[in-house]
Amino acid sequence: MIRILRCGEVPRKEIFARTLPTADVTDAVAAIVADVRARGDEALRDYTERFDGPRLEALAVTEEEFAAAMAEVGEEFLGILRRAAANIRRFHENQKRSGFLVGGGAEGVVVGQKVTPLDRVGLYVPGGTAAYPSTVLMDAIPAKIAGCPEVVMVTPPGRDGRIAPVILAAARTAGVDRVFKVGGAQAVAALAYGTESVPRADKIVGPGNAYVAEAKRQVFGQVAIDMIAGPSEILIVADGKTDPRHAAADLLSQAEHDRMASAVLVTDSEALARAVAGELERQIPLLERAEIARASIDGNGKIIVADDLSEAVDIANEIAPEHLELCVDDPFALLDRIRHAGSVFLGRNCPEAMGDYFAGPNHTLPTGGTARFSSPLSVDDFVKKTQFTYYTREALAAAAGDVAAFARREGLTAHARSALIRTEDGI
């Protein structure tokens, strides 16, 4: 059963479970990465057979497989995918950046910045017993909006050698260019270094298990990554008017993800705290993933009774949760005080699930307190910026003395020479 605590009975830094008792997979992943670099597609086939079951000759999904998946999913769910994709596009279109051109503060000087999409990005999408078409939409659509010429996706096949039809339908809806039947650390290695079939990417994004996370960590530097994601988190700040059924359901929406997920309610109402605890006990047995939700709630779940909503907001800022719900009368009044959260859900009619699937803002979010300094996945993740500078001869002559003096102060006389040698006075 979930624990009910007064504010201060547990240190704020311990409210979320962020120490993960996971096995060290570093050496195993390093071996897989090295093997894929050495043997390419043959290593991918071997690992796919070993971990997923099928022995595949062709790793790429064919057009016939795409067509069959679209037919199997059916028009009703395809319509839902399209509506969700439209909302995601509408939101992320507002993130597009343009370059800029400005004067350098003196006549004859031009400085600026150009924005260039990455040439190729790789999406990792979990497979196996889980099929998350929402992840495909959230990761692929911002990349396409950014203008990336090629978006490729890797995802593990089932034992029958097929990719879940909803995953392929989402990929087609989002505009993914190519899909490959490979998962795990080996898929990350393939995207980082390239194989005969899988092209090398400039950036890898998407969630995965401990092996995938470690592989992303190991190839970082060879290729860019989005983040190292941890277990799901939700923090609900609620007042006494909140329906306890709704609060309990929202806590469980994250608890069902993972035994290590953290689901926490902070409220100024002891009555609500007790009611939500009771609702959790009633609702958990109704879930298909009741065993996972039970482990999460009993192991990591908490209800914190704060003195007031101001204290609750302070707790939220210190925790920096992945998902933050503000279930209060005037959530916008609290929004300005929120400094650290991945995504904020405002009011009593906006469960976190709206953000997972449909509303438009991205659901790939910083976890583990990293919302203190990082952001949700966005169009910015799929572009790079390049600066440029132009000086006329006259503008250089006017500034060369200052540049040379600066360079000499740092002991870099060749820098000074490179500026002065272009002026009439020389050096």
- Known catalytic membership, residue 214: no
363 is catalytic: no
Q: Which of 92, 246, 257, 323 is catalytic?
A: 323
Cβ distance 195 to 45 under 8 Å? no
DSSP string, 3-41: EEEETTSS-GGGSS---------HHHHHHHHHHHHHHTH
Closest alpha carbon to 32 in 222, 227, 183, 198:
183
Cα–Cα distance between 69 and 73 in angstroms, integer? 6
Residue with the two structure tokens 């200052």: 402
> CA 190, 191, 194, 197 torsion: positive or negative?
positive
Of 256, 322, 325, 352, which one is the catalytic site residue?
Answer: 322
What does the buried/exposed string (b/e) look like for 183-220 if buried means 16 or more CB atoms within 10 Å of the residue's CB?
A: bbbbbbbbbbbbbebbbbbbbbbbbbeebbbbbbebbe
Return d(Cα 40, Cα 189) in angstroms, integer. Answer: 9
Residue 191 to residue 198: CA distance in whole angstroms = 7
Ramachandran bin of 399, using left for φ above 0, alpha for ψ from -120 to 50, beta for the remaining angles = alpha
Amino acid at 24: D
Strands (E) in 172-252, as ranges, are 178-181, 203-205, 224-225, 233-238
Q: Which of 295, 293, 134, 291 is nearest to 207 (CA)?
A: 134
Backbone angles phi, psi at 324, to 5 degrees: -130, 120
Cα 418 to its chain centre, rounded Å, is 44
What residues act catalytically? 322-323
